[in-house]
Structure formats: structure tokens, C-alpha cells
Structure 1
Amino acid sequence: MTRIQANLALLLAAAIWGGGFVAQSQAMAHIGPNWFNALRFGLALCAILPFVWHEAKRATTRLSLREWAGFALAGLCLLAGQTAQQIGIQTTTVTNASFLTGLYVVLVPVISVLILRRAPHWVIWPAAPLSLVGIFFLSGGTLSALNGGDLLIILCALFIAGQIILTGLMVRLSGRPMALSAMQFAVCVLGATLAGAAVEPFDVAGISAAIPQILYAGLLSSGVAFVLQVVGQRYTTSPQAAIFLSSEALFGALFGAWLLGETLPPIGYIGCATLFSAMLLVELVPELTRRQAKAA
């Protein structure tokens, strides 16, 4: 897979997640956040198990304990991020949630430098804040006063940044994207089930009412999109991946307008163009740099 194909896979994942934002918001009217996560990731895990088995059958070496531990740590970050987002979105505005979740686009390169000592391509530094500006404009260019829900969304952005970085590291180290995806899903199923059993009622009627949203979130947002993320990150860097994944906000606004009848303010169209410009920068500048280096 080329870097361009990898980035397109990440873009498709972001598009699926954009539709998933609608499904998540609708599901919260019927089911608690922990049971929703348990069911969606359980469905995703079942869906990819045949691919995990096929991948394991073709593998020439067994996964080490260190690799399994890295897979599990990525899963814990995913679980913490998804749980914080699902709970936080119930007590904050969609505008704030959309913008604050997008903070991971800046956190990923910063963490990569501070902790991993890996400096990204220079284009990431203007592109990351440019993406954040685009998300801000998509949110209407204003933010409500921050509350406890907003703090949870900020915490979600931090955990999602960790999951993106760990996913990039572990998929390149192991070469086993399906095993990595399965472990992340399994950790989410276990953690969300325990939390749901402890603090939420198991409402069969509510689950039945949310079946369409659970199916979308489980088979597409989790089963397809997260696998696309893992596979795509095998062939690109984590900071570049964060830029493309941040287009989730763009697709979320488009799906919201299409499916929920929400309207995009004029400044939102500027946000679309800004976010798209950031993605073009990340895709074109490194390619042009490489071509100039070869010509020299």
C-alpha cells in the first residue's frame, strides 16, 4: 500500500466516523454509553474474527508478550477515549464536543516529539493548527462556556491521541493489523461491559430501539473504520494520520445536514475549505519535497 492509498483509507475511516457521530447521538436517547460501547465493539470483534484467524494462519512468527501488551494499551486508550466522549457529549454542546475532540490533531505531533523524540515532517506544524481552525469554523466559530462535559471531551482527545500514536507504533512493529484491532475491541468490550453492569441498567427495550445505531457503530464505525485506521497507519506517520482522521468533523457536519436536517452556518463552509487545505498540505508537500530531493 502506498502512502497516498493509506491516507485515502484514513479519509474513508473519518467519513464513516462522521456518520457514526449521528448514530451515537441518536442512540443516547435509548441506551447508556457503556452498554452502547460494549455492544458496538462486541459486534465489531465478531465481524473481524475470521480475518484475525486468516492473518494468524499466514503469520510466520508468533506475537511477543510485548506486542500483546502494546495492543492492550492501545485498547485501553480507545476505551477511555470512547467512554469519555460518550459521557461528555450528554452534558455539553455538539459544537464544543466537535471542536474539543479535534484537539488530538495537535496533541499527536506534540506527544510524538516530547515522549517519542520523533520530529514529524515540518508541514505538520502549520497543518495541525490549520485543521483545528477548520474544526472550530465547522463548529460555528463560537464555543459555549466550558463545563464538566467539556473536560471529559478534552480527556477524550488526549486518549485518542495516545491510541493513534500506539496504533502506529504497534502495527509497524508487529505487522498484524487484524490482531491489533481485535485486541483493542476485546479490551473495549470487557471494560465497557464491566462499567455498564456497575452503573447502568440493561434495558432490552432501549437496546432494541437502538439496533440500527448499534449496527452502524459496530459494523461500520468500529469494524470497518478502525480496521482502516490500523491498516492505513502502517504506511503513514501518526501526525499525518491525525490530520486525515480529523476530517471526521467535516463528514459529521455533512451527515448532520443530510440526515438530521441541521444547517451549516456560512463560516462552516470556510471551515470545510480550511480543513481540506490542511489535508492537501500534508499530502502534497512531502511528495513535492521527495521529488525535488530525487531531482537534485
Structure 2
Amino acid sequence: MKKTQLKNSLLLLLTATIWGVAFVAQSVGMDHVGPFTFNAIRSIIGGIVLIPCIFFLDHRKSAQKEELPSPQQQVEQTGTLILGGVCCGILLALASSFQQMGIQYTTVGRAGFITACYIVIVPILGHFFLSKKCGATIWIAVALALAGLYLLCITDGFSVGKGDLLVMVCSLLFSLHILVIDYFSPKVDGVKMSCIQFFVCGFLCAIPAVFTEPIVLADIFAAWAPILYAGVMSCGVAYTLQIIGQKDMNPTVASLILSLESCISVLAGWILLNQKLSARELSGCVLMFAAIILAQLPSGKKA
């Protein structure tokens, strides 16, 4: 069990790393295309990338001669899989769209901080609505992570503007997305559910893109690198790793690890965009890592 949790924690850390770098891709991509167009294309690419992975994994299961469920169980599992994929896809479309729109009106640092506030929203929602009990250690880790995010991202005072409000809605939606994944991931194939959610997300984002944004092929080709990274890595790889990594994990601990994307986004900006880290930002990084380590420590009485 401990090995499984460690493996899942590493998968979630890798997810956070990919997402952190994706903030740079999102910022650069928005120089050429609108938010709905960007999200629609990246999501469809993410879904396409997963199709060969699904065939490979199914072939591997057949080769290993794993016991197949009965026809009735297959129907039930398929229904649960579709329901989970659609629910995740709707929430992902809403959350990513609010985030992309918010980035246009606020700084990347503020967007990263407010988005990562799901580390506070997830345990609150889980505690009051899903009976997900959290010990004192987890709550202390949440407080540390929140303080670290503030030091890391908010360097010029805190004010709430149009972009901040949009990203606040995004944070709430990502919190719901994490909890929905926590509910469905133990019941279905994570890769298949991830594939469904991307096609649902891409379709939903394409509708407002067609009616509200100029879709110019030359602009899409100009943004090919950030779109491809966001589609293949941020969508196809990272969101699938999130679904697999969250399996049998406390959703609060998972959200704490995933919140490292803000820390990594600052480091990515430093490395890729030559943005230097101040002493304040470095202190924020230290608090973030301390929070993650604290959240991983065993708690309660040993058997």
C-alpha cells in the first residue's frame, strides 16, 4: 500500500511539473489564438494521443489473459465510464476556459496563485459534502502551502479584478474536477475516462470558439509549439497521470501535490523566460515543498 501511494505521489508530482511548464505554453499560445480555440485544439489533440495508448493497454490485458467481466458488468462499467468521462469533460471545459480567459486580464503569478487555491477548497468540500475526514497534519500542510503560494506568486499586493474573479471560478471548478475524479477513478479505466473527457472538453470549447473568435489557420500554425505541448503533454499525458495517480489517494493530499504546478511554473519562467526568483519567491518554494512533505507523513495510530 505504501509503495502504491509513493508511486501515485510521484505520478502526481510529474503531473504538476508538466502543468507548471504548460503555464508558459498557455501564455505564449494566447499571443496567436483565442482562449476557446486554444483549449479546443489542445483537448482534441490530447484525446487523439490517448487512442493508441488505449489499444496498447487493451492488447496487453488480452495477452496477459486477465479475467473479463460478465456482459452485465461490462454494460455497467461502460455506463459508469461514459458518465465519468462526460462529467470530467464538462468540468474541465469550464475550468480551463475560465482560466484561459482570466489569464488575459491578470498576471500569470496571480492566476497561478488563485488557481492553486483548490488546495483549500478541496478539503473543505470533501469534509462537508463527501465525509472525507482530514487530520490536523493535512490542515497544517494546507496552511503552509497557501502561505507558500502567496509568497511565491503575489509580489505586488493583492487586489481582486476581472481576471482574478474569472480564475477564482476556475479554482472552484478544478476543485470539483478533482473530487469527481476521486469518485470515478477507482471504478473505471483511467486512460479511457481521460480520453472521453478530452473529446467532451474539446467539443464544448469548440462551440464558443466558432461563434466568438476568429479562427485563422495561419495563427494556429504560428502557435503550433505551445498548442502541441499543451495538447500532448499537458492534456494527453498529465491529465491521464492525474487520474491514475489519484486512485486510492486522499484527494486533499493529491491537491497539495498538484498545487506544486504554481511553484514549478515560476521555475519554468526562470529557466525558459529568464525570469529571476527573488528571496521572497524562493521562500515560497521552500514552504510549498515543506507542505508536500508534511502531507506525506504517516498519521494516526499504527496497527
The partner residue of 1:6 within 5, 8, 22 is 8
1:293 is the counterpart of 2:302:
yes
Change (3 A) 1:135 1:101: same
Q: Deviations over 1:181-236 (max 9, x none)?
A: 01110111110111111111111111011000011101111111111101000131
The question of whether the paired residues in 1 share the 8 Å contact of 2:113 and 2:154 is answered with: no
Output aligned runs, 1:114-263, within 5 Å: 114-174=128-188, 176-263=189-276
Q: Deviations over 1:118-177 (max 9, x none)?
A: 213432211112111111111144434211111110000000001111111101122x10
TM-score (normalised: structure 2): 0.91
- Residue identity opposite 2:23 in structure 1: F
Question: Quick one: percent identity of the two aligned structures?
Answer: 33
- Residue identity opposite 1:226 in structure 2: Y
Q: Look up the match of 2:93.
A: 79
Aligned counterparts of 1:128 and 1:77: Cα–Cα separation in 2: 23
- Residue identity opposite 1:78 in structure 2: L
1:273 is the counterpart of 2:286:
yes
Change (3 A) 1:194 1:68: same
TM-score (normalised: structure 1): 0.93
Aligned counterparts of 2:154 and 2:130: Cα–Cα separation in 1: 35
Aligned counterparts of 1:23 and 1:268: Cα–Cα separation in 2: 21
Aligned counterparts of 1:171 and 1:55: Cα–Cα separation in 2: 17
Q: Look up the match of 1:51.
A: 53
Please give the root-mean-square deviation of Cα atoms over the aligned residues, in Å: 1.6
Q: Look up the match of 1:16.
A: 18
The CA deviation at 1:264 is 1.4
The CA deviation at 1:55 is 4.7
Q: Look up the match of 1:39.
A: 41
The question of whether the paired residues in 2 share the 8 Å contact of 1:140 and 1:265 is answered with: no
Aligned counterparts of 1:100 and 1:189: Cα–Cα separation in 2: 24
Aligned counterparts of 2:95 and 2:178: Cα–Cα separation in 1: 11
Q: Deviations over 1:59-105 (max 9, x none)?
A: 63422434422321121111111000000110112222121111101
The question of whether the paired residues in 1 share the 8 Å contact of 2:50 and 2:236 is answered with: yes
SS of equivalent to 2:187: helix
Q: Deviations over 1:18-69 (max 9, x none)?
A: 1100000000000111111111111111110122234556463422434422
Aligned counterparts of 1:293 and 1:173: Cα–Cα separation in 2: 29
Q: Look up the match of 2:116.
A: 102
SS of equivalent to 2:215: coil
- How many residue pairs were aligned? 289
SS of equivalent to 1:188: helix
- Residue identity opposite 1:115 in structure 2: F
1:30 is the counterpart of 2:44:
no
